[in-house]
Amino acid sequence: MDLKELQEFVDKWIKTIGETDWTRWNYFSRLVEEVGEVGEVLSIKEGHKKHKKPEDFDLEVELGDILFVTSALANKLGYDLNKCFEKVKKKLDSEFGELS
Ligand SMILES: [Mg+2]
């Protein structure tokens, strides 16, 4: 699935199952929450935080949650994630030079 397909899937999911009245702030808040969950799972996986069943936590799912919410926020803002990343790539190329 590419970024465009991801955004289309998230848009369809939210319109059929999710919360259609969420604001940009709701998505931003959820994004922060999901980032925190990545931190918590990393902490458990690396033994900094004890848990009876660390195998119950899946870092791939948590990172996927971030992609989902990032896509939802981009959709809400009317942004194309491919274009967003192209801007980041351009910034990196400018600061560090292009990859050969
Ligand atoms: Mg999560």
What are the structural domains, with CATH classification, of the chain?
3-94 (1.10.287.1080)
Helix segments in 1-100, DSSP class H: 3-16, 24-45, 59-77, 81-96
pTM of the shown model: 0.91
Residue 20 has pLDDT above 90, yes or no: no
C-alpha 88 – ligand 1 centre gap (Å): 24
C-alpha 28 – ligand 1 centre gap (Å): 14
CB-CB contact of 79 with 86 (8 Å): no
Q: Which two tokens stand for residue 55?
A: 């195998």
- Classify 97 as helix, strand or coil: coil
Mean pLDDT to the nearest integer, 18-45: 95
Q: Which two tokens stand for residue 66?
A: 């971030």
pLDDT band at 91 (very low <50, low <70, confident <90, very high): very high
Give me the percent of the chain exceeding a pLDDT of 70: 100
CB-CB contact of 24 with 73 (8 Å): yes
Which residues neighbour ligand 1 (ion) by CB within 5 Å?
34, 37, 62, 65
